[in-house]
Structure 1
Amino acid sequence: MFRYPSSLVLLLFLSSFALSEDRQRQPDIVVFLADDLSSADLPLYGGTDIATPSINGLAADGVTFNRAFVASPSCAPSRAALLTGLMPARNGAEENHSYPHDDVLKLPQILNELGYQTAAFGKVAHLRSASQYHFDTYDLKQEIPELRTTVKSFLETRKDSRPLALFVGVSNPHVPWPNESMIDPSAITLPPQLLDTPRTRVQRSRYLQEVIDLDTYLGELRELTNRHLSEDLIFVFTSDHGAQFPFGKWTLYDEGIHVPLIVVQPGVVNSDTKTDAMVSWIDILPTLIECGGGTTPSNLDGRSFLPVLQGDSDTHRKRIFTTHSGDRKMNVYLSRSIRTDRYKFIYNPHPEFAFTSYIDLLLRETSGDYFNQWTELAKTNTHAANVLARYHGRPRFELFDLQKDPHEQSNLVNNAETVKIQQDLYCQLKEWMDEQGDEQTVFHKPLLLNAPNTWVPRK
């Protein structure tokens, strides 16, 4: 696949920017990233188990995207797509814990050349080195107590006169989850795709406690940045993918790829507004470039949704493409999907592979130990057995009517009423994969579905 040299793209991009007349100081930018947060668990998106006053307050001040999706449902490829504006097959970060190509142009590099100081604190990207993404400042400490100190100190002692692009990535609500939670496990509502067992409820309560803690820090960060940055401040809140529960993270179901996205800019972005425009994480890079006064490089997969933010459009994408290429040896599984306004089509190239993950292979008491109860329940309960069978084994094709089946429980593949839709979406997906240069690489030796003794939990 041909890639434009980053230096050439940047030169052309800056030449365009340099011609602009009487440009004013660009707005400061803050991007706040959650880690493994499903949008459905927030009251803003219909969740009922917890209160999130800071997230709700942010939404009251800006635009909430009802249909924002990541490029890939695991940490490294998702964040690489955000910071390059390219899908995984094009930027090079395909499986989890991989990295984009060195010569791919990255968002901090562009913002630096636009005149921004760039700083990243916490889990913003997976790195080989601190200079890989070209941030001026980078601190890897990602726990909230640490971020309270590092970000506050940075803003209070900062002397740089340039506008600031600040990226803050918390570890919440990524595992390990805390041993204690203020949330009563018996009072929560479990998503329909999960089995209702006592330990599942305990772990969900711990996960939700981390969401509450994240919300508290979001409020603190807004107060801090409002105090130290300019009034013209863009604040973006989102998550890299869904939660680490079965049928969420590492999957292309909406529980894995549908994420919260809120954008605030006083006086520019309408307040207390919701939009059904479909956007992808690859669209954030070109949007921020335009907000910063620059011109987007032409070779990106992402497209700016600034017209949606400014109220000039209520649509953006007609199709959302998402890919998953595994998570080292814990999840050797490939999936590709296309999502429209109504339908989701998922292509699993290797249905003979067993789907596994950190959840079922490690069974840690700080995350997935509830899977022991799932396995035991499946020995005597037909529904539980079917859920486990669906977790470990996926058919080659999956098709869901998202209007009638938002939790993607009923596969419509080969249904006479939807076979034409299935064929059309598969053709569109294959064409897009060819355009991307997607080689569908299997990065590690898989565990096979017909050899269950090879994927028993690890001790």
Structure 2
Amino acid sequence: MERVAAKGMTFDRAFVVSPSCAPSRAALLTGLMPARNGAEANHSKPRDEIKKLPAYFHDLGYQVVSFGKVAHYRQVTNYGFDVARHFNYHDDVAVDEAIEWLKNRTDDRPLCLFVGTNWPHVPWPKPRDVDPKSIQIPTTHVTTPKTRAARAMYYQAVLTMDEELGRTFDAAYEVLGENTLFLHTSDHGAQWPFGKWNLYDDGLRTPMIAVWPGRIAPNVRTDAMVTWVDILPTLVAAAGGDPQALAGEDELDGRSFLPVLTGEAESHRDRVFATHSGDGNINVYPSRGVRDERYKYIRNLHPEYKFTSHVTEKPGDTGYWPSWVKKAETTPAAADKVRRYQQRPAEELYDLQVDPQELNNLAADPAHAERVQAMSAAVDAWMTEQGDEQTVYGQPKLSAP
């Protein structure tokens, strides 16, 4: 990743629009937010009649191909890709097969190729190149031997992804040449407490690196604020198309950040909105939020619900959560972290400049009352504009009184 970044632009403020797989990927491939494309809860899919990314590139004369987890697993077959292979759960031959296909490709059309890896999605591999003793546990997590062991497995998965990134990057330029826009990103935060399924930055902030020799300056960083819903119009614009004209009657939520890539602009958005609905009965906790350059406002639609997830309900995936609960019985700091993960207030406000870990909720602070009111009103207006019905998907669990 460091080598790829040295050849292009790294985004320090790139965000997904929803912190779970299916809604995030559907937003990427439609240019529409979840309430507008229909894929709100995890495992849901966008409505059939909505124009999707492959159709935009077909209009521009491209072959459009997908290998690996690009849409939500098998849902990729509904998107209109010319080729879609190895999209099943942890179909880990996908990257090798994509590179082999690319090197043997004979089609002379321009190419839009998506290569998706399941890493670092669970299950994580046993550590080979990571020393558990060297790992620093995040301050929001509970330090236990099980946490350390799981963190080592997670880092091994990250290293696997990193190696796949390098091989994909090299193959792209070897086969397609210098006039290739290469974009690397990820669909949500990691499956750790306060990450995936959460509107904290650990759930929403995503890596994004773009390389395009001769068009994007090498080894630069930008703090321009962009979201995954902006990717479709950006790619279309880079290919010479007019995103909104190709979209037809559906007004895109996304806006092209091509001027940021080419150095013609230094900023893109002054705020980003995010939404989460849930993940089956395992995670039923709808929330909405907005983040500007400094502050994050989160509204938990049902604070009476208990926040559960695969972390708490399927600890066999990673093995550490029971050790958190056990330590919480005797350690107040651990108890605070467990309680904070599973019990949330109706509103949260964080000053990300001084509190990047989002630990100090300012929503009830009189000094921030006007800010809370303004950001709450912005979320209200956005939800109305989106046609957000605040649907609860699944059967929630209630917090203890």
TM-score range with shorter-chain normalisation?
A: over 0.9
Name 2:243's counterpart in structure 1. Answer: 296
Distance 2:345 2:355 in 1: 18
Asked if 1:383 corresponds to 2:330, the answer is: no
Deviation at 1:443, TM superposition (A): 1.2
For residue 273 of structure 1, the aligned residue among 220, 240, 248 is: 220
Task: From 158, 164, 187, give the equivalent of 2:111.
Answer: 164
Q: Judging changes above 3 Å, is the alpha-carbon distance between structure 1 residues 165 and 424 closer, same or farther for their aligned structure 2 residues?
A: same
2:126 equivalent to 1:126:
no
- C-alpha RMSD over aligned residues: 1.3
Counterpart of 2:22? 76
Tell me which residue corresponds to 1:257: 204
Are the equivalent residues in 1 in contact too, given 2:74–2:87 (CA < 8 A)? no
Give a deviation string over 1:391-445, Cα, whole Å, max 9, x none.
1111000000000100000000121211111111000111111100000100111
2:83 pairs with 1:137: yes
* 3-state SS of paired residue (1:297): helix
Task: For residues 333-362 of structure 1, give each alpha carbon's deviation from its aligned partner in whole angstroms, at most 9, with x where no partner exists.
Answer: 101000000000000010000100111111
- 2:121 aligned partner, one-letter code: H
- 1:177-231 CA-partner distances (Å, limit 9, x unpaired): 1133321112111111111111101101100011111111111111211121132
State which of 285, 288, 291 in structure 2 corresponds to 1:333.
Answer: 285
In 2: Cα distance, 1:149 partner to 1:58 partner: 19
Q: Residue 83 of structure 1: SS of its match in structure 2?
A: helix
> Secondary structure of the residue that 2:284 maps to in structure 1?
coil
Aligned residue identity for 1:355 = F
Alignment of 1:359-370 (within 5 A): 359-364=311-316, 366-367=317-318, 369-370=319-320
How many pairs align?
A: 395
Task: Give the aligned partner of residue 96 of structure 1.
Answer: 42
SS of equivalent residue, structure 2 residue 237 = helix
TM-superposed deviation, 1:127: 5.3
Query: 2:177 matched to which residue of 1?
Result: 230
Corresponding residue for 1:108? Answer: 54
CA gap of 1:185–1:352, structure 2 versus 1, over 3 A, is same
Q: Deviations over 1:19-71 (max 9, x none)?
A: xxxxxxxxxxxxxxxxxxxxxxxxxxxxxxxxxxxx11111111111000001
Deviation at 1:145, TM superposition (A): 5.1
Residue from 144, 158, 161 that aligns with 1:211: 158
- Contact 2:58/2:64 (CA < 8 Å) preserved in 1? yes
In the alignment, the residues of structure 2 paired with residue 65 and residue 327 of structure 1 have an alpha-carbon distance, to the nearest angstrom, of 28
Structure 1 unaligned regions, length at least 5 = 1-54, 452-459
- With normalisation by structure 2, the TM-score equals 0.96
Aligned position for 2:366 = 416
Q: Which runs of 4+ in 1 moved over 6 A?
A: none
Instruction: Decide whether aligned partners of structure 1 residues 127 and 244 sit closer, same or farther in structure 2, where only a CA change above 3 A counts.
Output: closer
Give the residue type in structure 2 aligned to 1:291. A
User: In 1, are the aligned partners of 2:20 and 2:187 still within 8 Å (CA)?
Assistant: yes
1:18 is aligned to none
- Kept after mapping to 2: 8 A contact 1:181/1:205: no
**Whole-Å Cα distance in 2 between the matches of residues 260 and 445 of structure 1?**
33
Q: Is the 8 A contact 2:86 2:94 kept in 1?
A: no
Q: After the TM superposition, which residues 299-310 of structure 1 pair with which residues of structure 2 at under 5 Å, given as runs?
A: 299-310=251-262
Is 1:348 matched up with 2:310?
A: no
Quote the residue 2:124 is aligned against.
177
Rate the CA distance shift 1:383–1:245 in 2: closer, same or farther, 3 A.
Answer: same
Task: After TM superposition, give the deviation of residue 113 of structure 1 in Å.
Answer: 1.6
Matched, 1:400 2:350: yes
Equivalent-residue separation in structure 1 for 2:206 and 2:15 (angstroms): 6
Preserved contact between residue 64 and residue 275 of structure 1 (Cα < 8 Å) = yes
- Cα 1:213/1:418, change in 2 over 3 Å: same
Structure 2: tracts of 5 or more residues without a match: 246-250
Contact 1:99 1:127 in 2 (8 A): no
**In 2: Cα distance, 1:160 partner to 1:379 partner:** 62
8 Å contact from structure 1 (residues 144, 217) kept in 2: no
* Distance of aligned partners of 1:88 and 1:295 in 2 relative to their CA distance in 1, 3 Å threshold: same
**1:161 alignment partner AA:** D
Alignment correspondent of 2:248: none
Percent identity at matched positions?
A: 49
* Structure 2 SS opposite 1:301: coil
